[in-house]
Amino acid sequence: MALRVITLRRARMLSPKVRELTFDPGEGFAFRPGQWVSLKFSQAGSDDPLARSYSIASAPRADGTIDVAVTRVDGGPASTLLHRMAVGETLEAADPMGFFTLPPRLDRPLLLVGTGTGVAPLRAMIESLDGAPDAPPVTLLFGVRHREDLLYGDEFAALAARDPRFRFEPTLSRPDPGWPGRSGYVQHHLPAMLSDAPEAEVYVCGLNAMVRDARKVLRDTLGLPRDRVHSERFD
Ligand SMILES: Cc1cc2nc3c(=O)[nH]c(=O)nc-3n(C[C@H](O)[C@H](O)[C@H](O)COP(=O)(O)OP(=O)(O)OC[C@H]3O[C@@H](n4cnc5c(N)ncnc54)[C@H](O)[C@@H]3O)c2cc1C
């Protein structure tokens, strides 16, 4: 597999445990929103690099840069390195991969469901639809633990305020007493979301336990056909 060198251009914390890294992947790095990239990390004492996948969190841009949003996993080698990486440093990356992408023709409303950094590929999709005249109505159901964990929350709220076709539904599993919005797990809110848009095409991304439970609700409780449910699992 061909590898390329990518350079870290910018980085910022999006929440207490999530760092956004903006890379310049160089020429000819074509991808579709929703795809992911495999990053390689050299390991001391081994010839085999460690490989980890990261969803691209941005739509294609004129300057070619891409964002990834990385949760720091305690004791996790790759995420720890990505949280320490300095601007100007480089990594090796493979070409983008994955089938968690939007169809060429969007003739149904979209229900995007993500937890934690599972929102990353959904953000890429949302950015790619922003301003598109034929974009369908889009609902983002986004679950995290605490209010401070809502990465890109201000960005999604601002988009919802200016575009009536975009609805932002954050839900907190550990809400603070003043939280005015939804609480609990995303899967519990799926019936309400789908009753508002029964024809929706659904995209679910996050850790396996959530994706599995959400797919079960969509299939068994709500009777959605399999081909209207798309998912990406991080573990
Ligand atoms: C297609 C795909 C896309 C991915 N995209 C992203 C992404 O955009 N952002 C991202 O942070 N990770 C993403 N991951 C997960 C990522 O590849 C690594 O597994 C993660 O960074 C942990 O690697 P590590 O070496 O630090 O820890 P490891 O020692 O490999 O730790 C593995 C543990 O981390 C947990 N874990 C993995 N990912 C996460 C997460 N995001 N949040 C909380 N716990 C997690 C697993 O459940 C497992 O228990 C993606 C995985 C896949 C397969």
The protein residue whose alpha carbon is closest to atom 51 in ligand 1 is 234
Q: What is the residue type of 109?
A: P
With beta carbons less than 8 A apart as the criterion, state whether 206 and 234 touch: yes
Extract the tokens encoding 89.
């440093």
Is 110-233 CATH 3.40.50.80?
Answer: yes
Q: Which residues line ligand 1 at a C-beta cut-off of 6 Å? A: 36, 52-55, 68-71, 73, 76-80, 116-117, 120, 207, 232, 234-235
Residue 227 exposure: Cα atoms within 13 Å on the Cβ side: 2
DSSP code for 17: T
Q: Which residues of the chain have pLDDT under 50?
A: none
116: helix, strand or coil = helix
**Cα separations (Å) of 74 from 5, 19, 38, 79?**
27, 14, 20, 9
Amino acid 47: pLDDT: 83
Extract the tokens encoding 69.
């949003």
Number of H helices, E strands in the chain: 5, 12
The protein residue whose alpha carbon is closest to atom 6 in ligand 1 is 54
Domain with CATH 2.40.30.10 in the chain: 3-94
Domain with CATH 3.40.50.80 in the chain: 110-233
With beta carbons less than 8 A apart as the criterion, state whether 162 and 133 touch: no
Index of the ligand 1 atom closest to the CA of residue 100: 1
CATH no. for 3-94: 2.40.30.10
